[in-house]
Structure 1
Amino acid sequence: MTQATPVKVFDPLLRLTHWWIVLSIVSLIATSQLAELFEDGGGDTVFWQWHIVSGYALAAGLTVRVLWGLIGPVSARWKDLWHPSAWAGLASLRWPRARRGHDAMASLAFIGFYLIVALMVATGLGLAATEFQTGPLNALFGGMRQLEDLFKEPHEAGFTLILLFIGLHLGALAFHHWRGERVAQAMVTGRQYLDQDGEISHG
């Protein structure tokens, strides 16, 4: 068996941003569901307020991630997520071994995820303005309930896609574990276990 070497790959800010976004999304899901649960009793207002605050937290996390992808270390850069040759292999069912940094195949899903998060933030700010007369877009759309569907429908579609991504992400971690690849701890410790070829080692 090839000796695995733990190598520091993901920097602290990247890992912090990862978990900041995760917790923001968990809070957004929880507050939206609680708001709908208590809607009939009129107790949904406080949950929607926390939902909006969680949305601001998500927007802040996304902003940091975008900027860090431009100026951060190699493993945080957007080019570490760009692997079109690996994506082309999907058509022929070729699945490359996990590599140092972001997984070449998973990176396509990550790029899609960040685009969906950007959509959620933009439409969420629109809904905050049209429904609750608050937020940075309030001066433009405040109280314009006729625009509510313009923001609500893509926001709800994005919510469904976020749930699908979470399922896909957890499934991928389970898949790597099944293959004997130690990747689940990478966003906690920042370390990946690499073989002599720089690929994720099978435990």
Structure 2
Amino acid sequence: METFSYRRQKVYDPVLRIIHAWNGLSILFLMATVWLSELFGQGVGEKTLWQMHIYLGYALVVGVVARLTWGIAGPRHARFSDMWHPAAWWNAVRHLNLQAAPRFGHNTLASGVYLLVYLLLAVMAVTGLGLAAVEHSMGPFNVWFGDMAWLKEVFEEPHEAIYNLLIAFVLVHIAALVWHERHDRTPLAQAMVSGYQYQLDSTKGDEHA
């Protein structure tokens, strides 16, 4: 039976992993409240779900602020500077090559997508707070926008567009994890639980930790 030798390194710190889990669960539960609300007509059930949606939105705002802060003040692999690789992105586009060189930390090419997602989450948080104020008279923006019903479309269109993009990102992100684990024969998904990343050695031998 063929065996493989791995190198491993502690890459993701506990704070980053907690923020990642917090934001991931917030996004999934936010999506769930939207899907479930469509099963209800106008009534108590729908109102309750939208109230939950707003509070989950607050949780996501906290998570986004925490990630932005940790992306500046956190350790090396948590920082946005460690995810900034414009030369690699340009080379990938110019040569139509999406195969990133192995490295410990965020994937060089995927990190560009992650940075874009953080930007979209920040916009979604702002537009969500705006909708909470305009439609439900809730949240910190209620003082400024609570009586401006005409702002609903201004906030709603980008909010819904980003929502659809995030659904696509979640599906592609999970599919990419599964594909890379099988193609590269390295455990990726566990990195945000254990903090360790593994790389396959070029030489074969017994697997070691």
TM-score, with normalisation over the residues of structure 1? 0.91
Which of 39, 54, 57 does residue 55 from structure 1 map onto? Answer: 57
Q: How far apart are 1:99 and its partner, in Å?
A: 1.2
Structure 1 unpaired stretches of 5+: none
Q: CA RMSD in A?
A: 2.0
Q: How far apart are 1:195 and its partner, in Å?
A: 5.3
Query: Following superposition, which runs of at least 4 residues in structure 1 exceed 4 angstroms of deviation?
Result: none
Counterparts of residues 113-128 of structure 1 (less than 5 Å): 113-128=117-132
**1:125, 1:137 within 8 Å by CA — same for their partners in 2?**
yes
**2:186, 2:200 within 8 Å by CA — same for their partners in 1?**
no
Give yes or no for the alignment of 1:133 onto 2:137: yes
State the aligned residue count: 199
Give yes or no for the alignment of 1:93 onto 2:96: yes
Tell me the amino acid that sits aligned with residue 138 of structure 1: N
SS at match of 2:45: coil
Fraction of identical pairs, as percent? 44
Tell me the amino acid that sits aligned with residue 128 of structure 1: A
Partners of 1:41 and 1:66 in 2: how far apart?
Answer: 37
Which of 144, 162, 166 does residue 162 from structure 1 map onto? Answer: 166
SS at match of 1:43: helix
Partners of 1:113 and 1:98 in 2: how far apart?
Answer: 22
Task: Name 1:45's counterpart in structure 2.
Answer: 47
CA deviation vs aligned residue, 1:55-85 (integer Å, no higher than 9, x gap): 0000000111111111111010111111112
Partners of 1:110 and 1:76 in 2: how far apart?
Answer: 12
Task: Name 1:64's counterpart in structure 2.
Answer: 66
Q: How far apart are 1:109 and its partner, in Å?
A: 0.9
Tell me the amino acid that sits aligned with residue 186 of structure 2: E
Partners of 2:17 and 2:38 in 1: how far apart?
Answer: 32
**1:132, 1:143 within 8 Å by CA — same for their partners in 2?**
no
